């Protein structure tokens, strides 16, 4: 997953453009006004998707930037002594118009990237960097922030106000506020170039996923796959004008089932290579040179800012604090992960040999023979499970679990503007019937939509200048079912849906005053904790027995099948661990490697060989498609965060099990009060300590993964 369109303290808008000549005397077009104006309608206003036109994006950014520039000038020119209210609070207010533009355009850039949208995105991203630097390098503004920070010991402020002040000052310093003019200028140049290269990287990946696909001419090539999967592949072919054939799209949701069940080994290899070589095909969309340049620029910037490496800069405000602590956790899991993979590979190779395969297990065979091994050891075929994995029913299960834990109720809302006909909206209320949030769901893959799954905050909860309720969304890439037929998703996709909904709950249940520290605006190795703990509710008997029902018979999933699922819960954990961990380790090593030119393919191969990476597994995200770390600074030197958060999650889940079980009301209430509602108003380590009563015990992580009995 990833969280997109997150704003950090209002300092760095997602997208912005340099000023252009304005003509305020001319009437503003309604479509331009829709991008800029406070949202209207019910629920405190809703995004006006039906009025937004991409042709207005550039001018909207220009106007919104001018608006924030004017607000910041007023802060700097204020003759009154700096205070929290006239400086920090004023900064929180300053970006409201630009925030709205960012959200409305950002959703187009991630889910509707067709027509002129990619060109506009490439045009405005570098100018965003320039505007962000204009703010953080404003000497007069920083002087006022620094004065408020210096007076924190004497000021009568709330803990949230003090933390927000500290975060503003810290982030300004981290952006170069204390550098000399020449250094500031170079930081500006670096950030603008990074914005250009990051955007090019991401657009190359989207193009590789949209335009590269595998065509299968005969249904025989789909032997082993479910009827539902075959039907989806036929629809995908028809959508591309290839009626009578079958298309395997170059997305994870299409690739993984194919590699797990397709009997044709040559086609498995073809689909696998198309997927793992995204951005690495030696053509105009090859991303290797982009990676080399991104790493050089990040290293130079980190050194200018006084850090040993980009990794040291990136990890500083996380729970890990240093790259060394992140690496230590990864190393602790690496060795048992490799051992488990080797044991599993030996058993899978035995199956190959027994069947007369006469080949050594390769990466494109791993999932296929893992399913055979799962069947042999646990009498479990996940194809048995999929008929019970109806998207709509499982969504209702998510709602039920959120109600059971946190007292939330979900009601469909009709008639609100949406950005695409696939998008549906629900109102969220608490147990007393009071409005809490709006939840938008955009479930299906389409041209111009980034792959994967993620959460957006369209509007962040705050009590600043009045109560503002959150508007959040979840976005997936499921394949649509046939007309009138339910959408069936894989077991893994069901878990991912619960994961992303955990992020949504984090945004919905926020109870903070200031947007800069509200919702999911917290450390990235903490923000994955609420999402990962929500995954656990998927496999509870209450959810499975009621919401995992057969799409034809309506009967609940058989108890003996549930028992087999649970018995096999830790099966293939070696693969899951190493596929992820290889990506996290390479990410960190890239950003600790220094400033010399790096050949990404050579670096990947040599580092993984040195670490003893099993050759039967590739990174979950190979460098040339690793959007988490190369499409923005986002998770750069931070992909370890999922493992760090999983340590928190495993320990936290044991708190439920030590109590009355998954639905222990007291534990859920404590999780909501100490974690889900606090945003970044407290240090994440203190938040976890408040929930658990102590620091995290990583033994729980090893138990969860089956590496510690």
578 contacts 337 by C-beta, under 8 angstroms: yes
Please choose, from the candidates 683, 707, 705, the residue with its C-alpha nearest in 3D space to the C-alpha of residue 695.
683
Q: How far apart are CA 534 and CA 530, in angstroms?
A: 6
Q: Write down the catalytic residue from 209, 371, 457, 500.
A: 500
Work out whether strand 454-459 and strand 435-444 pair parallel, antiparallel, or are unpaired. unpaired
DSSP 62-118: HHHHHHHHHHHHHHHH--SPP-IIIIIIHHHHHTHHHHHHHHHHHHHHHH---TTHH
Give the per-residue SS3 of 503-527: HHHHHHCCCCCCHHHCCCCCCHHHH
Give the per-residue SS3 of 362-400: CHHHHHHHHHHHHHHHHCCCHHHHHHHCEHHHHHHHHHH
- Find the DSSP H helices in 435-490: none
Please choose, from the candidates 482, 492, 399, 400, the residue with its C-alpha nearest in 3D space to the C-alpha of residue 441.
399
Q: What is the DSSP letter of 674?
A: I
Please choose, from the candidates 43, 459, 490, the residue with its C-alpha nearest in 3D space to the C-alpha of residue 259.
490
Half-sphere exposure of 105 (CA within 13 A, CB side): 34
User: Is residue 500 flagged as an active site residue?
Assistant: yes
Alpha-carbon dihedral angle through residues 285, 291, 292, 297, given to the nearest 10 degrees: 130
493 backbone dihedrals φ, ψ, rounded to 5°: -65, -35
439 contacts 410 by C-beta, under 8 angstroms: yes
551 contacts 486 by C-beta, under 8 angstroms: yes
Q: How far apart are CA 498 and CA 495, in angstroms?
A: 5
Query: In 225-378, which ranges are E strands?
Result: 246-249
519 in the Ramachandran plot: left (φ > 0), alpha (ψ -120 to 50) or beta?
Answer: left
Distance linking the first and last C-alpha atoms of the chain: 29
Alpha-carbon dihedral angle through residues 700, 321, 3, 533, given to the nearest 10 degrees: 20
Active-site residues, by number, are 500
């Amino acid at each position: 997953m990833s969280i997109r369109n997150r704003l950090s303290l209002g300092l760095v808008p997602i997208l912005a453009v340099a000023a252009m000549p304005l003509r305020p005397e001319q009437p503003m077009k309604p479509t331009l006004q829709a991008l800029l104006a406070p949202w209207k309608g019910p629920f405190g206003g809703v995004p006006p998707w039906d009025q937004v036109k991409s042709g207005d994006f550039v001018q909207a950014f220009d106007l919104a930037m001018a608006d924030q520039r004017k607000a910041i000038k007023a802060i700097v020119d204020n003759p009154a002594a700096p205070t929290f209210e006239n400086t920090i609070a004023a900064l929180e207010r300053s970006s409201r118009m630009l925030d709205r533009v960012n959200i409305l355009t950002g959703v187009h850039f991630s889910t509707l990237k067709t027509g002129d949208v990619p060109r506009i995105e490439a045009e405005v991203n570098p100018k965003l960097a320039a505007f962000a630097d204009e703010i953080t390098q404003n000497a007069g503004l920083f002087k006022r922030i620094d004065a408020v920070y210096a007076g924190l010991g004497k000021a009568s402020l709330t803990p949230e106000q003090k933390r927000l002040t500290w975060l503003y000052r810290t982030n300004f310093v981290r952006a170069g506020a204390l550098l000399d003019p020449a250094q500031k200028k170079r930081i500006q140049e670096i950030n603008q170039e990074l914005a250009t290269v990051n955007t090019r990287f991401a657009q190359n990946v989207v193009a590789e996923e949209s335009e590269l696909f595998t065509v299968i001419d005969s249904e025989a090539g789909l032997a082993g796959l479910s009827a539902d999967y075959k039907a989806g592949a036929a629809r995908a072919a028809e959508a591309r004008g290839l009626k009578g054939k079958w298309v395997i799209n170059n997305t994870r949701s299409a690739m993984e089932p194919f590699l797990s069940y397709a009997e044709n080994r040559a086609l498995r290899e073809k689909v696998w290579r198309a997927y793992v070589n995204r951005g690495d095909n030696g053509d105009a969309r090859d991303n290797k040179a982009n990676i080399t340049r991104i790493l050089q620029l990040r290293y130079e910037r980190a050194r200018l800012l006084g850090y040993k490496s980009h990794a040291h800069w990136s990890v500083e405000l996380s729970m890990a604090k240093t790259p060394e602590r992140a690496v230590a956790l990864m190393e602790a899991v690496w060795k048992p992960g490799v051992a488990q993979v080797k044991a599993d590979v030996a058993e899978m190779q035995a199956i190959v040999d027994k069947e007369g395969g006469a080949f050594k297990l390769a990466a494109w065979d791993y999932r296929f023979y893992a399913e055979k091994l799962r069947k042999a050891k646990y009498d479990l075929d996940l194809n048995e499970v999929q008929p019970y994995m109806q998207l709509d029913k499982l969504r209702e299960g998510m709602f039920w679990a959120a109600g059971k834990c946190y007292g939330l109720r979900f009601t469909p809302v009709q008639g609100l503007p949406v950005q695409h006909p696939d998008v549906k909206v629900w109102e969220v209320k608490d147990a007393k019937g009071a409005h809490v949030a709006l939840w938008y769901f955009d479930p299906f893959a389409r041209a111009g939509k980034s792959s994967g799954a993620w959460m957006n905050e369209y509007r962040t909860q705050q009590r600043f200048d009045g109560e503002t309720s959150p508007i959040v969304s979840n976005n997936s890439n499921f394949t649509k079912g046939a007309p009138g037929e339910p959408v069936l998703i894989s077991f893994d996709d069901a878990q991912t849906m619960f994961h992303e909904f955990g992020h949504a709950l984090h945004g919905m249940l926020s109870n903070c005053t200031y947007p800069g520290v509200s919702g999911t605006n917290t450390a990235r190795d903490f923000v994955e904790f609420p999402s990962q703990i929500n995954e656990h509710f998927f496999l509870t008997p209450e959810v499975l027995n009621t919401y995992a029902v057969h799409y034809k018979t309506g009967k609940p999933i058989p108890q003996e099948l549930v028992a087999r699922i649970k018995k096999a819960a830790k099966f293939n954990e070696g693969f899951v661990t190493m596929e992820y961990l290889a990506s996290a380790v390479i990410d960190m090593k890239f950003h600790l490697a220094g400033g010399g030119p790096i050949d990404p393919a050579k670096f990947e191969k040599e580092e993984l060989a040195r670490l003893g990476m099993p050759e039967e597994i590739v990174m979950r995200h190979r460098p040339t498609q690793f959007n988490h770390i190369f499409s923005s600074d986002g998770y750069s030197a931070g992909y370890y965060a999922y493992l760090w958060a999983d340590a928190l999650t495993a320990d936290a889940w044991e708190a439920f099990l030590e109590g009355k079980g998954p639905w222990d009301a007291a534990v859920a209430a404590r999780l909501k009060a100490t974690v889900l509602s606090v945003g970044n108003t407290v240090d994440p380590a203190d938040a976890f300590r408040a929930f658990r009563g102590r620091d995290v015990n990583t033994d729980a992580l090893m138990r969860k993964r089956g590496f510690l009995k």
